Chain A
Amino acid sequence: MSETAWDQVREQCPHVDKVDLLVGLPTFNQATTAETVTKSILAGLKESFPTLSLLVVNVDVGSQDGTSEIIKRTVGNLVPFALVQPLTEDMRVNPFAVNRLSYSGMPGREEAFHSLFAITERLEAKACVVIDASVRSVTSDWMTLLGQVVLEKGADYVAPIFQRRRYEGSLTNSLIAPLTRALYGKRVACQTGGGYGFSGKLASLYLQKDVWTGESARFGIDSWLTTVAAAEGCQIFQAFLGAKTQDGKATGADVAGVLAQAVGATFHYMERYEDVWESVSGSTGVPEVGQRAQREAESQAINVERMVTGFRQGLRDLLPIWEIILAPDTLAGILPLGLSQEDDFCFPLPLWVQTVYDFAIAYHERLIHREHLLKSLTPLYLGRTASLVLETKDGGYDEVERAIEQGCQIFESMKPYLAERWRFQ
């Protein structure tokens, strides 16, 4: 695919040999948002990079609604533009990666990123900014925030941070980000999608890594971009991009599927980077750019009762599976939770951290089928989220932030528990 993509770029832009900045637009049936997003990108390029050599590449993975035509028409002759479309078998969606499709909400997203990284490498671009065409809230500032940091401040990877409502992104906040922070010592929010900035060096590194095939390819690209950058010791920045309004965003209909994707990718890379994270202790913050958005005290519609019910049902029906996965003292801590009243329900943070570490070890030890293991974590995650909501129901956004930070610190302080059992279980 990458060779084909490069051939298509050469054919359409024969005079472009080298660029400073490559802007990538992976698309799939996003005709409704394509024009707005493209206009914002063009405005951002004009404002922030008027003198740089640029190339905008739209990798369209088979839109049937004229998305690529809209983008081509909007770009016109303002900046060099190339459209890359699937011509080979390689770009077809892997029929076995159903989770990946549902998680990213876009087929062939990984192949599209791979093509963009390959073109970045070929054109020796200093920076590559990738924007999701499905995000309605893209503004011209995004280009500045994601591109300038790479070009002027030497960032390798610019991760997005979005304005979120209270409790939004609970999986990331209560598991993915604290675990990533404890493992690799980088305080990254681990938010995904919308837009990313990469240095040319990091794009080449991603291409060299064995992340595009085999077991790694089962996980959606958004679930490992940050992890790999953190584990490889890249210079990470975070950019406040404001709100993210997205079409076709994964809803909560398949919590277990999303959880299996995100947590599975984190556990998978724990195995690959065990030599890295075992030697890391403590954590440091990463530089941030952009204006921290005003926090919204309003929370998502959360049904605590349903989450507690989900936890209790898990405790009743999945106990034989949890007995295999969890350490006896972890299970002994979880069992009494089934008896507590809904209002008094409390899943203590240390117990949650121990649970996550037990699941990571069980994943590593392959105690049961890995997808079953990951999905059986769902009721426990619901229990911990319900507990977080009950603990902070009278507080505002800051109260929730404090609870999340406390969780991060406990993940760090209990890391020896993980490290000791990881190798000597």
Chain B
Amino acid sequence: MSEMWQEAMLEAFREMMRRTALFFPKLMALLTFLMLGAVIGWLVKLLLIRIVKALRFDALCERMNLIPTLGKASVRQPASHLLGRVSFWVVFLFFAFMGVDALDLPATANLLKAILGFLPHVVAAVLVALVGILLGNFSSEAVLIAAVNAQIQGASLIANLVRWGVVIFTTAMVLTQLGIAKEIVVAAFSIIFGGIVLAMAIALGLGGRTIAKEALERRLRRKKTDDEFTHI
């Protein structure tokens, strides 16, 4: 009885040691990947910051009005540092996923493959979002200046509508790109967009008919008013 007990204990211990011996290298691989990810990520971050600074990326973002937009989202770092941080985390996560894959656990099997398969969608979505933000800011600024110069009351409102229009459109595109609730996004966007256009058409048709008529008359007949800035 005592022998059997001993044998069982030893067998369990041996099995445990064998499993540990098998798992330990995988764990070491995970830790090595994490360390490598941190070091390489840091190096990539440093290198990228230097390159984009040399290319005057911060000034470019300032010109594109990206910094104030990020400021509104409580991101108050220079764009180059932000890009550096993002690059660090991308590299680090890449290595971390490799480490997790190296553990060879049933739950994490094919994790890296799945993530790599989804990565192009994420990259495309990030690019679409970036272009959308830039386009929204640029269009909004252009509309604001044009409306102010035309002395249209509510210029800021028009500019904000343009910005949010572009942002909503971009958000819909990003979500579609990521495949998140595709059908709902398309339906919601169609309803919102169609609703806005319909509301504007009704508002103009019922409330602003006279103004629209006068504006069209002025434009088409090129009626010259006395207070035009002809002295320029």
A and B: interacting chains: yes
Using CB atoms, name the residue of chain B closest to A366: B63
- A residues 123-170 near B (Cβ < 8 Å) are 167-170
Q: Does A217 contact B (CB under 8 A)?
A: no
B156 near A317: Cβ-Cβ < 8 Å: yes
Stretch at the interface among B12-20, B92-100, B119-127, B139-147: B139-147
Q: Least Cβ distance of A266 to chain B in Å?
A: 15
Is B226 touching A366 in the complex (CB atoms < 8 A)? no
Known: A367-B62, A369-B141. A379 touches B227 (CB 8 A): no
Does more than half of chain B's interface fall in helix, strand or loop, or is it mixed?
helix
Is the Cβ of A253 less than 8 Å from the Cβ of B148?
no
Whether the pair A313, B230 counts as a contact (CB closer than 8 A) is no
Residues of B within 8 A of A238 (CB): none
CA distance A367 to B63 in the complex (A): 5
A317-B155, A368-B63 known; A256 and B228 CB under 8 Å? no
Query: Hey, which chain B residues are within 8 Å of A252, CB to CB?
Result: 228-232
Question: Does B138 touch A at the CB level, under 8 Å?
Answer: yes
A97 within 8 A of B: no
Decide if B59 touches A366 in the complex (CB within 8 Å): yes
Q: Contacts A300-B231, A306-B227, A379-B149 hold; do A313 and B59 have CB atoms under 8 A apart?
A: no
Q: Which residues of B contact A255 (CB under 8 A)?
A: 149, 229, 232
Let me know if A385 is at the binding interface, CB within 8 A: yes
Partner of A372, one of B59, B141, B156, B229: B141
CB of B221 closer than 8 Å to a CB of A: no
Q: A369-B141, A372-B142 are in contact. Are A314 and B65 (CB under 8 A)?
A: no
Q: Is B151 an interface residue (CB 8 A)?
A: yes
CA distance A376 to B65 in the complex (A): 15
Q: Using a CB-CB cutoff of 8 Å, which residues 282-312 of chain A contact chain B?
A: 299-303, 306-307, 309-310
Check A301–B230 contact: CB distance below 8 A. Answer: yes
Within 8 A of B (CB), among A232-286: 251-253, 255-256, 258-259
Q: Is the CB of B145 within 8 A of A321?
A: yes
B63-A379 in contact (CB<8A): no
Interface flag for A171 (CB, 8 Å): yes
Cα-based distance from A376 to B159 in the complex (angstroms): 14
B213 contact set on A, CB distance < 8 A = none
Q: How large is the interface on A (under 10, 10 to 19, 20 to 34, 35 or more residues)?
A: 35 or more
B228: chain A residues within 8 A (beta carbon): 251-253
Q: Which of A366, A369, A375, A385 contacts B146 (CB 8 A)?
A: A375
CB pair A171–B148 under 8 Å, yes or no, is no
Q: Which of B141, B155, B226 has the most CB of A within 10 A?
A: B141
A375 x B149 contact (CB < 8 A)? yes
Taking CB atoms, residues of chain B closer than 8 Å to A167 are: 231
Interface residues of B in 114-168 (CB under 8 A from A): 138, 141-142, 144-149, 151, 153, 155-156
Interface residues of B, CB < 8 Å — how many? 26
Shortest CB distance B219–A (Å)? 10
Main secondary structure of the interface of A (DSSP, over half): helix
Asked if A36 lies at the interface with its beta carbon under 8 angstroms from chain B, I say no
Return chain A residues, CB-CB under 8 Å to B149: 255-256, 310, 375, 378-379
Beta-carbon contact of B145 and A385 below 8 Å:
no
Q: Which residue of A lies closest to B138 (CB)?
A: A369
- Give Cα A171–Cα B227 distance, bound, in whole angstroms: 17
Minimum CB distance partner of A250 in chain B: B232
Taking a contact as CB atoms under 8 Å apart, the answer to whether B155 and A313 are in contact is yes
Whether A300 contacts B138 by the Cβ 8 Å rule is no
Which of B147, B151, B229 is A309 in contact with, Cβ under 8 Å? Answer: B151
Q: Could you say which of A301, A321, A379 contacts B141, with CB atoms under 8 Å apart?
A: A321
A16 partner residues in chain B, CB cutoff 8 A: none
Q: Are B232 and A171 in contact (CB under 8 A)?
A: yes
Q: Tell me which residues from 171 to 223 in chain A have a Cβ below 8 Å from any Cβ of chain B.
A: 171
Interface residues of B in 200-232 (CB under 8 A from A): 224, 226-232
User: Are A318 and B151 in touch, CB under 8 angstroms?
Assistant: no
From known contacts A251-B224, A317-B156, A369-B138, infer whether A302 and B145 are also in contact, taking CB-CB under 8 Å: no
B residues near A369, Cβ cutoff 8 Å: 63, 138, 141
Q: With A and B bound together, what is the CA distance between A253 and B141 in angstroms?
A: 21
Question: Shortest beta-carbon distance, B139 to chain A, in Å?
Answer: 11
Instruction: Encode A306-348 as 1/0 by CB contact (under 8 A) with B.
Output: 1101100110011011001000000000000000000000000
Residue in A169, A258, A302, A306 whose beta carbon sits within 8 Å of that of B151 in the complex: A306
Q: Which of these, B62, B63, B148, B226, contacts A317 with CB under 8 Å?
A: B148
B221 → chain A closest CB, angstroms: 13
Tell me which residues across on chain A come within 8 A of B142, comparing CB atoms: 372
Residues of chain A lying within 8 A (CB to CB) of residue B62: 324, 367-368
CB distance from B108 to the nearest CB of A (A): 48
The answer to whether A314 and B232 have CB atoms under 8 Å apart is no
10 pairs, CB–CB < 8 Å, chain A vs chain B: A167-B231, A170-B232, A256-B149, A306-B227, A317-B147, A317-B148, A318-B144, A318-B148, A321-B141, A378-B148
Known: A317-B147, A317-B148. 20 other contacts (CB 8 A): A167-B231, A169-B231, A170-B232, A171-B232, A252-B228, A252-B230, A258-B232, A259-B232, A300-B230, A300-B231, A301-B230, A310-B148, A310-B149, A310-B151, A317-B144, A320-B68, A321-B141, A366-B59, A372-B145, A378-B148
Across the A-B interface, the 9 shortest Cβ-Cβ residue pairs: A252-B229, A303-B227, A300-B231, A256-B149, A252-B228, A252-B230, A167-B231, A255-B229, A378-B149
